[in-house]
Each structure stands twice: as C-alpha cells, then as structure tokens.
C-alpha cells in the first residue's frame, strides 16, 4: 500500500486494496460447497448444494476462464484494479479451482455417499451388483442404450468426433482386429444428453431398495464390450470437455440482432476448449492423447474420482420421495391488502404494496397482469423480460391482453446468458399474438425489471407499476430472495414510461423525477449519495450505508466507499457473491463490514439504504455494483418512499446483519470466516423472516 509520508494520503488505486473478482467468485462457490458438509441441513439439500457448486463452476469456466484466456492472447499486458495481468489471474484461478474440485469429490465420496447409505439411498458400484441387478441392467443396456449409442473407432476415415460442450464421453482402448482385418486402437463414445445420469433400479425386478441407483457411466463401462464385437476392450474412461460458451456479437457490424444471436447460438456447443475432466483411473498415455487432441495444458486437466458431471446428480432430489431429508415445504403468503381485495388496482391505489419473495407469493404479479389483460379500462401494458421460463403465466397474460385489443409492448433481452434460445422462442410466440416486441438496445443488455399498466379512470390515464429486483420468473421467485413494489405514484409512472419510450424509440430521456437509470444516472447517483454520507459524517450527523447486492466490483464506487469509511461513515455490505473491496484495513476500510449469507434461498435482492443525515432513503434496484450494471446495461433503481415499507426493508437488513448461523464475514485477505453462535444465541435470518410470514 502506497502512503505519501508528506500528506498521509493513501493511494486508493493501490492494487493491494482490491480482491480479484474471479478469485472472489471461487470463494463464493466454496461457501456454497461448505453447506454440503453441514449436518443441520437436510441431507438431500446438502447433495443439492454440491450440485449447485459444480454447475456454478461449469459456468465459471465457460464464461470467466474463457474470457481471461482470450484476454491473455489479445492483450496479455492488460491489468485490472488488482494489478494482475491475465496470465497471473489464470494461474491463481486454476490453482484455486483444482482445490475446489478436489473438495467437491471429497464431499461426495467421504461425506454424502456414506450418509446417504445410512438413509438407504445407495449409488451401487459395479463390483457390488447382485445377479438380479446385473441381469436387469444388462437388459436396460440392450433395450435402452445400445440402439442409440454410436461408438466411433478412430482412424483416418473416422477422425476424432466433435465433442459437445459438457457432454459425457468415453475414450475406449481396444485390441484385436476390427471387421476389416485392421488392428484396432482407440474409440470415442458420446452419451446422448437425453439420457439420465443416475438410473433408479426397480425394487420389484432387482430386489433392490426403493432408492438404489446406478450411474449411467457404470452401466456403459460394464457393457461397452457389446459395442465392439470381435474386439477386446482393455480400457474405458469417462471424460468431459468444457468450452467457451460466451458468444460475441459485434454490435457495430450487425443489421439484425435476432439473426446474429441465432447464428452464435449454433456455435455455442463447439467453442474453444477451456477445461478437460477425466476419470482419475485413466492411464497416462490416454490422458496425454486427450490433452494433445484438445490442445490443453496440464493445468487445465482435472482428474476426478467419480462422475465427471456431478451437477447431473441433482436428479436424485426429485427421484427420491423422502420429505424428511428435504427442506420443509411452506406456503408463501399473499399480502393482506391483496388477500382482502379482488381488485388489485384498487388495492394499489390505496397504498404502495411491497412483495418479499419467496416468503411472499409471486402470484400477485401474475394476477396483476391477468387482471390488466381482462380489464376493459386498461389500454396498454409495457413490460421488460430478461428470464421468464417456459410456458410462463406472465407471457400467457400478455398474449391474452394483446388478443383483447390492448397495446402490449415487451422488451425482451435476447442476450440473457444461457437463456438466449428460450427468449428467441418467447419473442416469436409474442409476435404471433401481435405483441410489439423489441430486443432492447444494441450494445446494452436490458436488465431492468419493470411493468407498466396504463388504465383510464374518470377520463384520466393512470399508471400502475410493478418494479422489482428479480426476474419475472415464477419458479425462481420460489427460490430467490427478491423485492417487488406495486405503486401508482405519478412521478414514478412518468419515469418508467420515459424509460420504455427510450427502449423502443431510442430517443433521449428528459430528466427523471425519481428513478436512477443506467447507463445514464445510476452510477453518478450512487456516488453522489455516498458523498452525501461523507458530508454528513464530517458534520457529525448520522452517516450510515447499508447495501445488499450480488456483487461489488466497480472501482470508482469502491474507492468512494473507502473514502466514506475514512470519514467515519458506518458501512454494512451484504454481498452474496463477488466482492473486490477489502474490509477492515486500518485507516482505509476499518468502518466497512462485508458479509455474505448462504441459506436455503439464493440471496438476489439489491437494496441501497442511506441514513441521509436522519432523513433516511431506501432504494431497490435491478443493478449490482459492477461495471456492466453501471455502464453496459439498462437498469433502474427505484425509491421505496412509504415509511412502513422502508421500515420493513430496514428490519430485514438488520436481521441479516445479526445472522450468526448462515453468515460469512469477508476478511482483509479475501477469505471468508463462517460466523459461529452459542447455543442460546442462534440467529438465522432467512428462517426468522420465513417464520414471521408463516405466523
């Protein structure tokens, strides 16, 4: 850290003050995986946490590692706030990723499988199959697998097949002569993605337990000889390749965004290789053969002791009907204002209504659109969709509204990562119903969550709004914590209408009354509010900031938070995932605490609270403190002005800040320390909030 001795000023650009964003993301996955070891969590949910950590790591390699590899080739000397060039980042990331993968398989083999066995849930190894099980599995292979498997023997006429991203494959070593009298060598077998990865044995036919499973890889390994008649299989080993899946669309060179995205999607499964996973029992010569073929270095090789795709074991949670091994079910509440009133517009007109998912139901959002579709006084509906899911009731309501003759405009973000195909299909479905569909703004993802209903009342056009921190997705609303606001505030309505006009016409927005919007006013607005807290701290007035987000990355905001800490502002950050800010550094960030909550529900809300000298402000937003959210996305940040609703949000934040069961505190070195509690001092924020809504 650089300190000027003459002035005692600290250089807030010093790389030692910043944590690498990708190493921070790996720390998040460590916290997720740590849940799989906790005995107090139901066993099948612990298995689920393991699978989540694995699917997260897949995406990490597909997107983040792939982009760093590209940067190392394009601009090898580029330096981030942490001072690392791409090759240095990659080296540290791969070391941490290997440690994480080793831990994942350690959790599977030494913790979860033994505990599952104690609960009579078994993954039966080949050597332990009974005669009845072997007979049934042999028939299963012949009837269900053999007809659809296509082995490829490698020779000059049968080159190494193109390997799909993240698919299950086998490399097979052969001896003997093939059907044409030539010496055989190696073959490749790809397992179709449609096949389950864990096969449940029928108890009546195999004398197995009700929850006995065999991995697909074990079945193929056992009966692979039947695919190579007349030859001998001397080795069969799983492998999987992870590819660059973050496609690029040149915004300056495209005429049609839809066609450009469709073209890139076709190539997603065949991007550059970034990682190779192989069965740990694979011989060295075969390992080297695969590494050479995929042109990968040894540090991107992961030798694993178990299935090469642990995330597919998540199927077990659905197949096993053991409620006592899962989180207890609950019924989300409907706010009293809406439960008492069949007219949602009348309820919103009386008072703003706050929804807190998943503790409160997402159904009022669906009902809002259903009523709007059926209401003859509703003239128009405008909505953004980022991720919404297949056969969404939201989409069905929008279609019914369009068919009823209302003006319906939907802004669909085609480039919502890994939902591009679903969103293209969704756009087509809406357009067939005469909905006006636009694809956002070229060069900027539309990530804002907003719905505007225009209703004629007493010859006056009134705006009804739903603004949220999460996607319009009924299923994720059962799993993610998010806030949604219903309001008919006139100034907010005017603001949202202007933002929609901008998204469709691309015209400039005049000054907004209450909304902060990226890429225009959000970044500066947040900086100004932090500066205001510094001003109040210098005056000796209340100065406090509470921010709950998914990520803290953007350098200027971090520097301003550092300066606020130096001025004595109390800063509490609740950051689920990436945090590049280092808390607890003397004279810099000693007034900043950063905590992460890992619980039953994925913390997804974005909340910004400023003491404002005693005149507290509370904002909710679709945006995290990241460069992309500030400068490369269309986001909104909206005020919660109703004092009772403000108090609700603040009370929730205070509970999170007291959590000593599911909270992790970020340390200055970038590691996280799990919070511990005494027997009589147990605070688990999500459980407390859930209980409050169930009582």
Instruction: Give the number of residues written for the chain.
Output: 695
447 is catalytic: yes
CB contact set of 244 (below 8 Å; sequence gap of 6+):
62, 66, 69, 70, 271, 272, 273, 274
Q: Is 575 helix (H, G, I), strand (E, B) or coil?
A: strand
CB neighbour class for 615 (10 Å; exposed up to 12, middle 13-18, buried from 19) = exposed
Strands 663-666 and 450-457: unpaired
Phi, psi values for residue 3, rounded to 5°: -125, 130
**Residue that has been written with the tokens 């505190």 in this structure:** 665
DSSP state, 328?
Answer: P
Active-site residue among 447, 466, 473, 604? Answer: 447
**How many angstroms separate the CA atoms of 402 and 395, rounded?**
11
Strands 3-4 and 9-10: antiparallel
**How many angstroms separate the CA atoms of 344 and 364, rounded?**
8
SS (H, E, C) 569-585: CEEEEEECCCECECCCC
For the record, the structure tokens of 331 come out as 């019924």
* DSSP per position, 198-240: EEEPPHHHH---TTEEEEHHHHHHHHGGGGSTTSEEEEEEEEE
**How many angstroms separate the CA atoms of 140 and 106, rounded?**
30
Nearest to 138 by CA among 66, 214, 198, 84: 214
Phi, psi values for residue 463, rounded to 5°: -100, 125
Question: How distant is the alpha carbon of residue 394 from its chain centre?
Answer: 21
**How many angstroms separate the CA atoms of 384 and 496, rounded?**
11
Give, for 524, the enclosing helix (H) or strand (E): helix 522-538
Q: List active site positions.
A: 447
């Amino acid at each position: 850290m650089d300190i000027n001795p003459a002035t005692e000023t600290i250089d807030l650009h010093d790389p030692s003050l910043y944590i690498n964003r990708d190493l921070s993301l790996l720390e998040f996955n460590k916290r997720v995986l740590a849940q799989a070891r906790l005995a107090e969590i139901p066993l099948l949910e612990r298995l689920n946490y393991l699978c989540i950590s694995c699917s997260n790591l897949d995406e990490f390699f597909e997107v983040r590692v792939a982009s760093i590899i590209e940067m190392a080739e394009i601009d090898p000397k580029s330096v981030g706030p942490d001072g690392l060039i791409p090759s240095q980042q990659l080296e540290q990331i791969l070391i941490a990723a290997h440690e994480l993968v080793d831990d994942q398989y350690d959790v599977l083999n030494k913790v979860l499988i033994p505990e599952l066995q104690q609960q009579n849930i078994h993954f039966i190894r080949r050597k332990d199959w009974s005669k009845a099980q072997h007979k049934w599995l042999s028939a299963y292979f012949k009837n269900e697998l053999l007809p659809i498997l296509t082995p490829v023997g490698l020779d000059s006429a049968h080159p190494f097949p193109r390997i799909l991203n993240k698919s299950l494959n086998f490399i097979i070593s052969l001896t003997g002569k093939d059907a044409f009298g030539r010496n055989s060598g190696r073959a490749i077998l790809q397992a179709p993605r449609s096949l389950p990865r864990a096969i449940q044995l029928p108890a009546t036919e195999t004398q197995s337990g009700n929850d006995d499973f065999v991995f697909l890889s074990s079945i193929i390994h056992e009966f692979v000889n039947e695919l190579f008649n007349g030859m001998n299989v001397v080795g069969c080993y799983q492998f999987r390749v992870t590819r660059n899946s973050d496609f690029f669309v040149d915004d300056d060179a495209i005429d049609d965004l839809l066609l450009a995205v469709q073209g890139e999607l076709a190539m997603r499964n065949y991007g550059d290789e970034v990682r190779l996973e192989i069965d740990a029992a694979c011989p060295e010569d075969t390992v080297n053969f695969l590494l050479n073929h995929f042109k990968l270095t040894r540090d991107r090789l992961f030798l694993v002791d178990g299935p090469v795709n642990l995330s597919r074991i998540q199927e077990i949670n659905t197949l096993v009907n053991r409620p006592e091994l899962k989180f207890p079910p609950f019924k989300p509440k409907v706010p009293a204002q809406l439960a008492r009133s069949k007219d949602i517009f009348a309820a919103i007109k009386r008072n703003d209504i706050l929804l807190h998912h998943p503790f409160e139901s997402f159904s009022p959002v669906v009902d809002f659109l259903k009523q709007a579709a059926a209401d003859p006084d509703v003239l128009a509906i405008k909505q953004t969709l980022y991720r919404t899911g297949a056969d969404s009731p939201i989409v069905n309501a929008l279609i019914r509204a369009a068919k009823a003759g209302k003006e319906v405009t939907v802004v669909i973000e085609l480039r919502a990562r890994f939902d591009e195909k679903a969103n293209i299909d969704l756009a087509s479905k809406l357009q067939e119903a005469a909905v006006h569909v636009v694809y956002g703004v070229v060069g900027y993802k539309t990530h804002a969550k907003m719905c505007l209903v225009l209703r004629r009342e007493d010859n006056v056009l009134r705006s009804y709004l739903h603004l949220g921190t999460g996607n319009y997705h009924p299923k994720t609303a059962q799993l993610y914590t998010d806030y949604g606001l219903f309001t008919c505030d006139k100034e907010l309505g005017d603001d949202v209408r202007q933002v929609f006009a901008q998204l469709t016409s691309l015209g400039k927005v005049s000054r907004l009354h209450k909304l902060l919007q990226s890429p225009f006013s959000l970044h500066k607005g947040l900086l100004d509010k932090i500066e205001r807290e510094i001003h109040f701290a210098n005056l000796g007035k209340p100065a406090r900031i509470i921010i709950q987000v998914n990520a803290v990355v953007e350098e200027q905001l971090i520097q301003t938070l550092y300066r606020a800490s130096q001025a004595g502002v109390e800063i509490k950050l609740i950051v689920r995932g990436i945090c590049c800010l280092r808390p607890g550094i003397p004279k810099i960030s000693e007034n900043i605490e950063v905590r992460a909550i890992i619980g039953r529900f994925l913390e997804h809300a974005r909340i910004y609270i400023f003491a404002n000298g005693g005149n507290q402000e509370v904002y909710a937003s679709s945006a995290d403190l990241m460069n992309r959210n500030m400068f490369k996305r269309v986001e909104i940040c909206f005020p919660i002005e109703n004092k009772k609703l403000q108090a609700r949000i603040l009370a929730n934040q205070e509970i999170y800040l007291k959590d000593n069961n599911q909270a992790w505190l970020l340390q200055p070195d970038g590691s996280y320390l799990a919070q511990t509690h005494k027997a009589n001092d147990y605070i688990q924020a999500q459980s407390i909030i859930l209980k409050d809504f169930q009582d």
